[in-house]
A and B are shown apart, each in its own frame.
Chain A
Amino acid sequence: MKPKPSALRFFFVVARPGTGFALVALLIVAYAAYLSIVYRTGVEQVFGIALLLQLFAASTGYRERLRRGHFDPILIGGANQWRIAAAHWAMSVGLGLAVWVLLGFIELAARTGKPLTSATPAEIAAFLYVSTGAWALTLALPRYTGALLWLVLLVVLQWTQQLQAMRLTFTPVPETWGETVRSVGSVLVFPVFLVLDPAVANLSLLAGTFAGACVVWAIGAVLIGRFEGALVEDR
């Protein structure tokens, strides 16, 4: 009998994304490869699709499966909530991260001479924030619900023309604190702002987005520590 398995390995066996997601991920990579071979350009368009995939792939959910007892073996005897949160987060973002890295390699192989989209700080910040936001938003909800809620929020903002208003106040190179706060706020609601022109996003905007991702992750870890493993039928 082995000692308790590592939390990451456990979550990989128990809660990894399904075959459907792996197929979609494969299609995205194949599409990027097709673009790079036929047109030698256009791979950067695929990163938007990869971001959408990640929005759903990272929405794995936690509490619902906790209450079904699926995570019992790793939580028995008490477990460190930060370690559990880190492992669950890593498992949740793993598939999207793999796609992101593969797209980077395809872009590299295409040798367009332009900076790698996957490696620009703005793209990385957007990817990190979308991954963490979708993961944290879904922790207390069923799988994919966080991604759906985020999309619904964006549709409502678009409907009420708030998104256009945010676009107008967003500036990739904020110069004052007020501009920085407004721009970071806009990115945290709609991270795509950051990737519209990733080369020009300045340090304060990037730092704000990274900090936002860290805060959201910490909130997620605290939530994981507060959830209780009462089986559904016990209540």
Chain B
Amino acid sequence: MTAAATLVNVSKRFGRLTALDDITLSFRPASIVGIVGPNGAGKTTLLRILAKLLRPSAGRVHLGDLDRICYFGGERTLPPSASTRRWLSLWSADLARQVPARRLGLLSRGTRQRIGLEATLACVDPCLVLLDEPWEGLDPDASRWLSELLLCKRSRGSTVVVSSHRIHDLASTCDRCEFIVRGRVAADSVICDVAMSPDDRVAKLFAGFDEARGRR
């Protein structure tokens, strides 16, 4: 099966800082992959390279048959001076009608995050969905909405790559998690088996994270 996206020996340097160091990863179609790692590990850089917002310093990025890429870098990337309605109308007139016309900068963090996610996830399936810390700032209802929407995207053939620290949310949605520490893939990927109980999946992910950090 052709991969939806592949990174081959990808490195990214910002001056003397190496953000990604010789990363090779492959993402299957119709799957949800979690990217886990401590702050500054290179998760955001990896997603931005996949979204073609950054050029790798070395290595290659192959995108498969999915020519649509949807990326959301978090509420901090929304332009604060733009009107909510005008912003959403760029993507969906229906969504734009459902929100009050206020400047994005005046909304709460969680509301901005939800608006950004709604605009991004309105994309037509199948597509490559790249989300950076999508559960940040969301209340439990919105978190559940997001997790269910990601599972729905996968069932429609989309490939979802999501970076997060929220192990519980990742455990409930991801088919596989990759651990990145200091710009490198730090441990074997953890397969989240649907047959396992949610608690076991969480425990398995925490164990994988500890291994990646060299704590085991």
A contacts, CB < 8 Å to B? 1-2, 5, 9-10, 13-15, 18, 65, 68-70, 72-73, 75-78, 228-231, 234-235
Contact = CB atoms under 8 A, between A and B. Distances in A.
Interface stretch (B44-52, B149-157, B194-202, B203-211): B44-52
A229 B53 contact: yes
Given A1-B123, A69-B77, 17 more contacts: A1-B92, A2-B90, A2-B91, A13-B82, A13-B89, A13-B90, A68-B77, A69-B74, A69-B76, A72-B53, A73-B90, A77-B51, A77-B52, A77-B68, A229-B53, A231-B44, A234-B48
Interface of B: 14-15, 17, 19, 44-45, 48, 51-55, 67-74, 76-79, 81-83, 86-87, 89-93, 119, 122-124
B14 A234 contact: yes
Contacts of B86: 13
B137 to A, nearest CB: 15
A72 B73 contact: yes
Contact of A76 (B14, B53, B82, B91): B53
A71 B67 CA distance: 19
Contacts of A75: 52-53
Is the contact region of chain A dominated by helix, strand, or loop, or is it mixed?
Answer: loop
A234 B79 contact: no
9 shortest A-B CB distances, which residue pairs?
A69-B77, A229-B53, A1-B122, A70-B79, A78-B52, A5-B90, A77-B69, A14-B79, A13-B86
Max count, chain A CB within 10 A of own CB: residue among B14, B53, B79, B92: B53
Given A1-B92, A10-B90, A235 B73 contact: no
B73 A69 contact: yes
B119 to A, nearest CB: 8
B71 A72 contact: yes
Contact of B73 (A2, A15, A228, A231): A231
Contacts of A229: 48, 53-54
A231 B82 contact: no
A14 B91 CA distance: 13
B157 to A, nearest CB: 15
